[in-house]
Chain A
Amino acid sequence: MAVKHLSDEQIQRYLEGDMSLDSEAVYHLQECPICQRQLQIYRKVYQGLQQDADFELAPGFAETVITRLTTVPVKSSRGSLVGLILICFGTTAAACLTLYFLEAKALAETLASLFATAVEFGLPLVESFKVTLASLGVRPDIVLFTILILITFGAIDRILFRHRGSHLYP
């Protein structure tokens, strides 16, 4: 009958202190010179792996980092009002656009007229911008649509980025 030596996995489990290794295998390991040799090599491997390889940082490392930090801007506290506003605006814009493309024209027209009114009375700068665009032959609604899309994507990206930063790599 062929002798069944321990596998690499079993020897590693033995060195890891895995108690689930059956007693027959442990007995074989203790008695078999071939398996003993494998075990000895693995022991050396484990010793080498556990040895700190003199990875020393320069003295005063912490002070150097702190000195460098004086030139790095401190980030603001949790949450950002601007980010929140952008997210709200982007979400609203995305909802409006969805409704528009779903042919909920009445609602879209109301929103458009409200927006136009706001532009007309509140933002003369926008009006002049519209005139400029018109003189250039560019449709203002297309420009508005593009801006809204960009804001929406920006907001989505910000949400994803913040999520990633909170848990993963900043």
Chain B
Amino acid sequence: MESDCSESRRLINEVLNGNSAAFATLIERNKKLVSHVVFRMIANKADREDVCQEVFIKVYQNLDRFNFESKLSTWIARIAYNACLNHLEKKHVPLLDDLGSEQDILEKYSGDGETPDCYMERQDIMARVRSEIDRMPVHFRTVVTLYHLDEMSYEEIAEVTDMPLGTVKSYLFRARKLLKERLKEKYQLEDIWR
């Protein structure tokens, strides 16, 4: 953690001194996190890349204000989260519906020890879960993404979203329960009981 912090300090100082290669490194290290937040919150594919770029431009413009009270990644995630909220507020963006086609899923089949049938079935269940995630309220989606995909702690999520800790825990619990109920309702139990 301490070495992470000193590494972040070094990187930030280099960026503030005008080293664009250092900023490229900062982007590379955090683009996955930003894309998780932005892609999960914003439905319009055409807007996602722009919002991600805006996030990093804001990061650059405000990097001198980062005071190391939190992890750099948490601070960046917060900027991404707020940028998405602003975007949603401005554009009244509908809920996500970005499932790939069956052909897309097949193309990603790597065949490592799994039969194509099993692979397809597993992908289908995952796609169903993702579909249900995309139908959830935006705050639920964000909280589960930060927790499960970015492995953030409750405290870090609370800091990113400015929600009380109890609300984060409650959203996580309710989101998972909602997903479970929807899957249970929608499909035959045998389909997912494997």
Interface residues of A (CB under 8 A from B): 8-9, 12, 37-38, 40-42, 44-58, 61-66, 68-69, 72, 74-75, 77-78, 162, 165-170
B93 nearest CB across to chain A (Å): 16
Contacts of B180 in A (CB 8 A): 8, 38, 41-42, 45
Contacts of B70 in A (CB 8 A): 167
The answer to whether A44 touches B129, judged by C-beta atoms less than 8 angstroms apart, is yes
Which residue of B52, B79, B193 contacts A37 across the interface (Cβ within 8 Å)? B193
The answer to whether A75 touches B64, judged by C-beta atoms less than 8 angstroms apart, is yes
The answer to whether A68 touches B39, judged by C-beta atoms less than 8 angstroms apart, is no
Contacts of B173 in A (CB 8 A): 8-9, 12
A-B contact count, CB below 8 Å? 136
Residue of A nearest to B128 (CB): A48
The answer to whether B35 touches A56, judged by C-beta atoms less than 8 angstroms apart, is yes
The answer to whether B65 touches A170, judged by C-beta atoms less than 8 angstroms apart, is yes
Contacts of B31 in A (CB 8 A): 57, 61-62
Contacts of B65 in A (CB 8 A): 78, 162, 165-166, 170
CA gap between A8 and B184 in the complex, in Å = 13
The answer to whether A12 touches B176, judged by C-beta atoms less than 8 angstroms apart, is yes
The answer to whether A75 touches B192, judged by C-beta atoms less than 8 angstroms apart, is no
Interface residues of B in 38-59 (CB under 8 A from A): 38-40, 49, 52-53, 56-58
